Every structure is written in C-alpha cells, then in structure tokens.
Chain A
Amino acid sequence: MLRSDNITVKRGNRTVLRQLHFDLQRGELIAVVGPNGSGKSTLLKALTGELSLARGEVELNGRSLAEQMQRPHAIARWRAVLPQQSELAFNFPVIDVVMMGRSPHLSQQQPALDLEICEAALDQVDCLELKDRFYQQLSGGERQRVHLARVLAQLHEGLESKGPALLFLDEPTANLDLKHQIQILQIARQCADRGAAVFLVLHDLQQARAYANRVLMLKAGRSVAFGQAASVLSAKRIERVFDIPVEWVHHQGAALLKLKHSSATIL
C-alpha cells in the first residue's frame, strides 16, 4: 500500500533522512522508533507529503505520492493523519471538530449518518460525554483523543468495508495517561486487524514490541533495522542505538524491558 523508495530529505543543507527504504502492507501496523532527533517525525511528514523529498519517491497504491497530492481530496477519503499536536484557533463544540473529519465524504452522505459515525468514533475513544463541550475547554489529552476520533470518522468507510485505509499517527500517546495510551494503541491495532495500514511513530519500545507487526528503527536519519518487531528490538541493538544497557525479561507471556544490573524496568 505504501512504499518508500530510497527517500532522502534535507532541511536547508542538513540531510535529516538518508536513503530510507521500506514498505507498509494492508492489515499491518508498523512502528517507527529511535532516539530523539533520529528523524521519526520527519519521516512521517515526508510520507504524508508535508515535506518534499530531495531524492527517492514515496508510492501510494503503486502511484507517486507527489503526483496524487495534486488532488488531495481523493486521498483524504482513505488516508488520515493524526499529528503530534493539533491546534484549533477558535472554540468549536467537540462534535463539530469530529465532523470536520467527515468533510472528504460529505457530498455523498446524509448529515444524520455522518453524525452517527462521529458519535460512534467519539464513543470509541471514550469521549462521547464531551460531545457538546467546547474544544478549548478540554485538557491536552482530551484534545488528542478528540482528534483521534476525527481521524477515525474520516476513515470510517475504509475501516468498515475493508476498503483501503491508511492511518498515520505521530506519537499519539505523548500527552496521555496510561489508560488512554493503551486505549489508543489498541484502537490502532484494531484498525490494522480490520485491514488498514497503520504507520505509528512511538517512543516506548515495549509498546512497539507488543503492538507492531514490524518495526523500523532509525538513528541519525538512517535506518538501523527493519523487520519483525521482536528481532529488530533485540536488547543488543537497543543498547547500541539508544546507548543504554538493557535486557528483555519475559514474564507470563509479556516482554518487559529492564536496565541491566538494576531492578528498574523501562516504561
């Protein structure tokens, strides 16, 4: 569904991503991990067309992304992006914010159906009771979940009929408490299980291992490893890339990351 063909991205004279090569299939969740400044968010921006490429090409369904971005409306019907932080300049009711996610589909739907879809999406992220509240009165975590609902409403068709659906999430857990971190990751996982392709930038390596099919590890703009979650996230590689001595501990089927020579686990 998505293919990154040797892409290189520059900001000014600095090369921030170098020759990245990977692919994302339908029904798959890929997590991108790496230390701060390794280019995770930059990669997401390049894949969504927000940044232009110095070299290489991004392909969506076999066709060049740059070419398809000429008509963003067509893509918006099956591809959604949840940025790290969304701002909203004026104070809309929450339900209106979620309804904005329906705008690529509005011409063919009845408003009542759109409303239903949006309420279902809000329910899914545990925010239905915020429906009539105003956006600017929400906390950071609530805002993030409302935007997730907006994105889910946008992809409703793709997720329901198993049509194409592509979802980008940029550190969606950053502002959230534990319960809602898990909730968001579970929703992302469900989307993939329903046939969507999900691209996720993530800090937490344990979560990456638990929820992703494949993991792409970046360091200083280069791909260090790409493949099955468990094999990419080996203790040795984490030690080398993140510069901390760690080991995996297995407990009742769960894999926990722990500092070597210490009882501290890494959350």
Chain B
Amino acid sequence: MLLSAALGDKSIPAETVVRAIFGIETQGHAIDGIIVRDIRAPRILTAVLVGATLAISGAVLQAIFRNALADPGLIGVSAGGAAGAIVFIVFGSWLIPVSWTLVHELGINLFPMAGGIGVTLFVYRLALHEGRIHVTTMLLVGLAMNALVGALIGYAVFFSNDDQLRDYTFWSLGSLARANWNMLSWLAPIIILIMGALLSYRRQLNLLLLGEYEAVHLGLDVEKIRRRLILLTASGVGLTVALCGMIGFVGLVTPHLCRLLLGPDHRWLLPASALMGAAILVCADLLARISIQYSELPVGVLTATVGAPFFLYLIVRAKRQTSI
C-alpha cells in the first residue's frame, strides 16, 4: 500500500508519504502531501475495499453454486450491476432534475445493487434443477447477461457524446480513478458491514458444499441462508460496480489461490480471500497507473489479462478431472 502511495506519475519519497499519512506537512513538498492524502490514499483504500469485496463474494458465490468457476463477473452479477448503472444514467438524466443530487447519488449506487441482485437470482433459478446446480446453464446465462450488457453499453455509446463515452467505458472496463474521500466515506461502512455479515456465515458455507438437501438434513435453513447470501454478495458486488465499474476475475482467481494455500474450509478461506483480494487489486491498480506514463490503463483490463487465461486453465483442469 505504501509503495502504491509513493509510485505514480509523480514519484514521491517514502518519507513524505509517511508524513502525509500522519498529517505532517513536509517543507517544500506541500503538493506531494496533497497528492498522497487526497488522491492516492482514497484510491488505495477503495482498491482495498473493492478487492476484498470481490474476492469474498467470489468465494461465497462459489460455495452457493458449489463450483469453482463461479465468479461475480462470469455469471453476470457485475454485468447486472453495470446494466443498472447505465439504465440509471440514461433514464435517470431524463426523468430526474439535475439539481436533485442526492437522488442521483442514491440512484447511481442503488441501481447497480438492484441489477446485481436481480441477475444473481435469475441465474440461480435457471441453473437449479432438482436441487442440483447445472453448471453449464450457470455459465451460459452469465454469458448471455454479459452480452446483453455489452449491447446496452453499445446503445448508450451510440446515443451519447464524447464525454459520456468515456463514462461508459469506465463501467465496462473498470477503473479506480473516480475514488475520492466523499464517496468512500459513506460506501466504506456499507461494504464493511456486508463483508462482516458474509464472514458470519463461514461455517454454514462449508455445509452448503455437501449439497442442497444434505445441508438441510444437517440443520441448515438453506432457502433462507441462500437468499441472504445472494442478497449480500450481489449488493456488495453491485456497490463495487457503482464505485469503479466492472473489474473481472478478482473474484475467480483469489479464492482459488487461497484454496491452494489453505484448503477449502470457509472459516479460513473467507478472511484470507478478503486480504488477498485487497492486495491483488492494490497491486493491479499500481501497475495500471505506472505502466503507461501520464495516462493509465483501466484496471479491469489488467485483471482480465491475468484472469482470463487462469479461467481457461481451470476449465481444462476440471475437464480432465470430471466433466463440468
């Protein structure tokens, strides 16, 4: 995190960074202090929160779907979130007067949440057949949702001017550039609450892996718990989409790496995924910022570059073990 705060288009000495964090002005480097405090710090914290949420949501979704291929991006939760955001941007600007900023603020966060929840429930209903999850259906529905959002973005781009255009690519590729203290201050508590709630289900998630009915026979109110988990993960992912667009594959790769290190027990897997997800996204964001000078890559492009081949590897491996 410190490294990320120090490096960037303008490199700042480590000492100055540390001082800035503790609110001490460095003589002659006032501007550096401002960069660290007002631009980089909120951005890094956002990366931490978003990375942790995506990773923990990925781990939980993989337990609900009982499959390591589930990922908020792949099964369309993120796409649902982005669709919600775009629908709100397009229709919201027609229907709601510009001066109602609070409504706009709320809408831009609530619509992605609603979109995420809607899509997750939809995918789950379609993929569930007699108590078992049909994995192919799950992935295909996710594919369809992603295509649908792609089309939606296409329409939006077609009808928009240059400025808005950048806005839309923001949703589809994901970037942490919008992060600021104002946004962070009220989204952070919600996201932390959601993560805390998800962590409290760590035992039950293990039982879910045995199967729908087996979990019921072990005393789990599966229907209720699943509903809550879906609600929590989808709103978490929806919020991250509202914060920084669709950042793919963090939710897929991170839990898998943690499983390799610690085993599949959710009591360890969930907290570890949160930590590692945060670390991965902070690093990815750092790379996105420093790899091209005076400009930056959307971080979603980076995560996809690493994540997509990894996904292929998982499929090949699953194919070798059993059939997916």
Contacts and interface: CB of A to CB of B under 8 A. Distances in A.
Contact of A88 (B210, B220, B321): B210
A35 interface: no
A157 to B, nearest CB: 13
A50 B207 contact: no
A50 B213 contact: yes
A72 B209 contact: no
B67 interface: yes
A79 B217 CA distance: 8
Contacts, number: 72
A104 interface: yes
Contacts of A186: none
B219 A77 contact: yes
Contacts of B211: 83, 86-87
Contacts of B66: 87, 89
A179 B60 CA distance: 40
Contacts of B167: none
A101 interface: yes
Nearest to A50: B213
A103 interface: yes
B263 A86 contact: no
Nearest to A102: B218
A88 B218 CA distance: 14
A100 interface: yes
B199 to A, nearest CB: 17
Given A90-B68, A92-B263, A103 B218 contact: yes
B189 interface: no
Contacts of A86: 210-211, 214
A100 B263 contact: no
Given A50-B213, A100-B210, A92 B203 contact: no
B131 A100 contact: no
Interface residues of A, number: 31
Given A89-B68, A90-B259, A93-B263, A154 B218 contact: yes
Nearest to B206: A100
A100 B207 contact: yes
A133 interface: no
Interface in A65-90: 69, 71-77, 79-81, 83, 86-90
B67 A89 contact: yes
B265 interface: yes
Contacts of B219: 72-77, 103-104
B163 to A, nearest CB: 46
A90 B259 CA distance: 9
A91 interface: yes
A80 B213 CA distance: 11
A103 B264 contact: no
Contacts of B264: 90-92
Interface string B193-213: 000000000010011011101
A223 interface: no
A48 interface: yes
B221 interface: yes
14 contacts: A69-B216, A72-B216, A74-B219, A76-B219, A80-B217, A83-B211, A86-B211, A90-B209, A90-B259, A92-B206, A96-B206, A100-B206, A103-B203, A106-B203
Given A90-B259, A100-B218, 10 more contacts: A48-B217, A50-B131, A72-B221, A76-B217, A76-B220, A81-B217, A87-B211, A89-B209, A90-B209, A91-B264
